[in-house]
Chain A
Amino acid sequence: MEMINLTIDNKPIVVKKGTTILDAASSIGIDIPTLCHMKLHDMNIENKPGGCRVCVVEVKGRRNLAPACCTEATEGMEINSHSLRAVNARRTVVELILSDHPADCLVCAKSGNCDLQDLAQHLGIREIHYQGSQSHYREDTSPAIIREMDKCILCRRCEMMCNEVQTVGVLSTINRGFHSVVSPAFEMNLDHSTCTYCGQCVAVCPTGALTEVDHTGAVIRALSDPTKTVVVQTAPAVRAALGEEFGMEPGTLVTGKMAAALRRLGFDYVFDTDFAADLTIMEEGTELLGRLNKYLAGDKQVKLPILTSCCPAWVKFFEHQFPELKDIPSTARSPQQMFGAIAKTYFADKMNIKRDDLVVVSIMPCVAKKYESGRDEFAVNGNPDVDYALTTRELAHLINLGNIDFKSLPNEEFDNPLGESTGAGVIFGTTGGVIEAAVRTAYEVQTGKALKRLDFEELRGMEGLRKATIDFDGTLIHIGIAHGLGNARKLLEEIKAGHSEFHAIEIMSCPGGCIGGGGQPYHHGDVEILKKRQRAIYAEDKNKVLRKSHENPYILKLYEEFLGEPLSEKAHHLLHTQYFDRS
């Protein structure tokens, strides 16, 4: 490996050939400001169009300033990261960006979390010396994401996520010069496009140009309506990230505080999506074993591999891009929708509440869940199974509005019967978790033997594509795992070509799974945050007394009192779905 010697701000440093000035500087504690640049280490995700020029530095002997994010260090380079010329250029660049940016920070949804705002403060900008035209575009509202392109600074992070990471290909920069803007083809609205609403564009947008549709107002109105019973469910990944919104260390589990906060906000019943995750395993696991056993018995008609179907962005992705494979994913609805269906039937009946008077709110790490809850097939006579899906960030806003000091809350429990869950339900929040939960149940049901170990390390990790083989007492089950839709596409191409080696595949749209969802607290490019959330999820699993979905006593009771058995007619009606060709 060739090594390069250089100095940055008079500090000598040796780096590998190919290292950028930005990375070299950061390795010795010199924090050159950036704006368009974003790098998710370990995930091979990097955006460095060199477009914003905020990271320019002075290189001795070079005529012009060099953008640190996309200039490689070379032998003998002498760099000054904060020369007067570099600092002046940086300030000018930011002032020019601000001159074409709406000055509505006080009421912007991204205020306090905006990279542009932070940068302007960091550089101490107190006046904008330039006046010129301001770009103006029509606002585009979809079921999940709002595009407000007046606030776009053309960093192209969203374009990188949408095209290279997710391979969805909805967003592209169009037009030229001052009229350039990031847009779907033909400037159509997002909801006419093939957008999956994965929300990764929202997760990386440095400004308020891309945000989620805000449902907090509607939830507050429901909570203050005395004729309504309002129940809430919380997705597994939320408890591993919500604390960050209140200044807590990433990876702090706040399950108990979250339940307490929801109760103080006035929800009549505080339930858990983890319960529905256990239910999902009962249905999806049974479906998996059904198909597998037919296949092992020599039935060539049966379709394998079976694909998980919990992720709404992934469902929309294959409906648009691989409609010919729509018979392959499990027909099981996602935990959010299973919860809604059970709440508005089983629970409503039990409590003697009319369907129209029961409001189901979900707290999700996801923006696509907003779209999913609005799909026609998940409503009865126009009344949706899930009325409102809020993101983790929206819940934090609600908690603030409720004047709740989150950090000082006691730990409280979820309510029953829809609040009890096992460790298997919790790990749904991370890549590899759904399939591990399925394996724990499928193994015991299939072999009739108790598992000796519950931690399937071979299914865990952060690599985008993983595979493992699990020994089902002599029968080897091949499992594939993908997170990020670009990785999912690779597995789908294999299936389409007829040479997939897998029996079962788990797919999650977001890098890291739901812990890295588009509705989570912003990670600002720090992938360590995702790893800490992942560790928190596995810690919660380990702390549970019950760690296998089929041992959840309330799930067993639900089948006994209401559903009969997995894949029963009632279960099919309430817990399964169908997919549509949207190509």
Chain B
Amino acid sequence: MPKIKLAEKTVELIREICAQFNNQETELINVLHQVQHKLGYLPAEVQEVIAKELNASVAKVYGVVTFYSFFTMLPQGQHPISICMGTACYVRGAEKVLTEFKRQLGIEVGQTSADGKFSLSCLRCVGACGLAPVVLVGEKVYGRVSPQQVSKIIAEYQDGCASAQSA
């Protein structure tokens, strides 16, 4: 397999996170959380460093990464879009909203648009069922979203209209 070398400062960052958890294998999930939070995703090379630091097998790390849908090995778009598919959102039409996002962006769930701007994922309940159906862009929450609003939401994040940039 061709080896991709991680930047030294990325490796250093991963080492620091592992050290915060005393390099304990039992803290694997917390380490993965932190690293994904900082890097946006968990590519193979990153998992290899984590495995080494925690003295765990790479296969085990990969097993955990693939078990939890929260973890991703693909780079996320600049603006990750998540559509809630929890029960409340689902019965209020989240699937139609999702279909519209897929159509307009031309990507499937788990993919990132070619320009790297948007990625699409589903999640289960953000605890805002009163606002169903709910869409998250970055950390900004949109409530009562209808398929008609989708193009407006996307437009907010296109070049020159980034006034509503999420935090």
Contacts and interface: CB of A to CB of B under 8 A. Distances in A.
A174 B62 contact: yes
Contact of B57 (A169, A175, A183): A169
Contacts of A178: none
A169 B60 contact: yes
B62 A172 contact: yes
A170 B57 CA distance: 7
Contacts of A185: 44, 47, 57-59, 61-62
Interface residues of A, number: 16
B28 to A, nearest CB: 12
Interface in B55-89: 56-63, 66-69
B41 to A, nearest CB: 14
Nearest to A169: B57
Nearest to A176: B67
B119 to A, nearest CB: 20
A185 B45 CA distance: 11
B66 A174 contact: yes
A300 interface: no
* Interface residues on chain B, size class: 10 to 19
B1 A192 contact: yes
A195 to B, nearest CB: 10
A169 B59 CA distance: 7
B1 A172 contact: no
A174 B44 contact: no
A188 B44 CA distance: 11
Nearest to A189: B1
A163 B56 CA distance: 10
The list of the 5 closest CB pairs from A to B, nearest first, reads: A169-B57, A172-B59, A172-B63, A185-B58, A185-B62
Interface string B40-60: 000010010000000011111
Interface in B1-47: 1, 44, 47
A281 interface: no
Given A174-B67, A175-B67, A176-B67, A186 B57 contact: no
A513 B69 CA distance: 42
A186 B67 contact: no
6 contacts: A172-B62, A174-B63, A185-B47, A185-B57, A188-B1, A192-B1
Contacts of A174: 59, 62-63, 66-67
Contacts of B57: 163, 169-170, 172, 185
A184 B60 CA distance: 9
A282 to B, nearest CB: 39
Contacts of A169: 56-60
Contact of A186 (B44, B68, B69): B44
Interface in A257-273: none
